[in-house]
Amino acid sequence: MTLPSTMSERNSRRAFHTFWWWTWASLIFLYAVMYFVTFAHLVIGNEAAGDGTAVRVYGTVQLVLLVVSALTTFKTSLRFRSGWPDDGPTPWHTVAAVGVAPLLLALSSWGNDDGGLAPLLPFWLAVSHIAGLLPKPGRWRLFWAGLALVVAIAAVFRILYPGAAWWVELESTRGTSDSLFAITYGILIPAVVLGSVWWWDAIVRLQRGRAAERELAVARERLRIAADLHDIQGHHLQVIALQAELAERLVQRDPAGALEQIGKVRLAASEAMGETRAVVSGLRQVGFATEVENAADVLGAAGIDCTVHGWGHELTGAPREALGWVIREASTNILRHAQATRAELKLVETGEDVTLTVTNDGVAPRASGNSESEADDMDSSGLLGLRRRIEQLGGRFEAGARGDEFVVTATVPVEAVAARSVESAVGRGVQA
């Protein structure tokens, strides 16, 4: 089965991809700003420390660690596209790949008080970044552990260098307090990183929900086709079997009558094939008057006295289709299960509702203790399918024995609108 791709679906996919790249680019911009701020502080701090070989080596190592930190976060940020994982093992290799270099860079702040606590920025960024990659069980444990480690490193730095500034004073930030820097970076980084990941995760879940809805629509359409095929094939095969049996009985004593029944068999087979093709293509509509006429003819041919009441005009829309299926299934069950001699088809329209009642006398009384015909009918997938059809239209459906009769009653609103949500979701045409 192939489903047509609608313009709205293509636009939805395009919007989904566009929003992802916008979210990713926003994160990368934040990362780039943080790494640039760290780079500026490291350069200025190392210049203030002097021009010795040890200072240059120390500064080079810090810059290498900064570059490695940036590359690992940039690369693993693409994993955010799949959303926030709910469960699963903690990917320690990812934690190590993203966290080791920033941690070493953060610890390097202990070796040079001129650089301040700027080396902590990439590590705090890495903690927030890793939290966005971890499944729910370990996500917040690692985040709070990372926060505690950041506080511990900062505390050790203050112990080692009591009079050192937290940050290198740049021209653009001259006069800004250290505590304001700490609060700004401490809140901004996790809020933006985890907030962006959370927002994107919500979009991913919505997209998955839409995909699941489309798959469910396809499954429902398949069930609809299966139910329609069951109704069509069951009815026509029962008619063909009955007419073939009549032809077999008439071969000897009434050859002309036998030929007539054989012709009806051929017509029934052709009608079944045509209706089957129409169901597969999603174009089939059940004509109400045609169903009534066919049901009365078939029941009469089986020797059942069939009377019809209440047909003064043709029904339209959803009631016509739904009640047409009821007539088809009920007449098929009479032929298949009941030993009926009399049947009645009755239609009553009250203005707001239309009620169809199909009655036959082919059910044994309950007192006999044998209600196999009733059980077969009530458990059949055909009647269960009819119940779903009628209830989807806001109607009522009942089927069961009443004394010596079996009664099928279906009531639908006159203004009922057919439940076509499935067909709307998958398009008006379904190609097999």
Q: Which pLDDT belongs to residue 3?
A: 36
| DSSP-assigned beta bridge partners for residue 360 | 343, 406
**Interacting residues of 424 by C-beta distance below 8 A, sequence separation 6+:** none
Q: What are the pLDDT digits (tens) for 33-51? A: 888 888 887 877 767 666 6
Calculate the CA 327 to chain-centre distance: 35
Q: What is the pTM of this model?
A: 0.48
Range of 3-17, 324-338, 359-373 with top mean pLDDT:
324-338
Burial class (CB in 10 A: 0-12, 13-18, 19+), 97: middle
**Interacting residues of 194 by C-beta distance below 8 A, sequence separation 6+:** 128, 131, 132
Q: What are the pLDDT digits (tens) for 263-289? A: 888 888 888 887 777 766 555 555 577
What is the rounded average pLDDT of the residues 361-371? Answer: 51
Q: What are the pLDDT digits (tens) for 141-191? A: 888 888 899 889 888 888 887 776 666 555 444 544 445 666 677 788 888
Q: What are the pLDDT digits (tens) for 410-420? A: 998 877 654 43
Q: Which residue has the higher pLDDT, 337 or 65?
A: 65
- Kindly state the tokens that stand for 85: 């994982």
**Backbone phi, then psi, for 225, in 5-degree steps?**
-65, -40
What is the rounded average pLDDT of the residues 233-247? Answer: 81
Nearest-angstrom CA–CA distance, 228 and 283:
12
The total of other beta-carbon atoms located within 10 Å of residue 66's CB is 22
Q: Are 360 and 332 in contact (CB under 8 A)?
A: no
User: Among the listed ranges 53-57, 230-234, 307-311, 417-421, which one has the minimum average pLDDT value?
Assistant: 417-421
Nearest-angstrom CA–CA distance, 172 and 36:
14
**Residue 397 — pLDDT band, cuts 50, 70, 90?**
very high
Q: Which residue has the higher pLDDT, 373 or 53?
A: 53
Q: Are 334 and 361 in contact (CB under 8 A)?
A: no
Q: Are 261 and 298 in contact (CB under 8 A)?
A: no
- Kindly state the tokens that stand for 100: 């080791």
**Containing H/E element for 193?**
helix 178-253
Which sign does the torsion angle of CA 373, 374, 378, 383 carry?
positive
pLDDT greater than 60 at residue 350 = yes
pLDDT greater than 80 at residue 5 = no
Nearest to 298 by CA among 352, 363, 243: 243
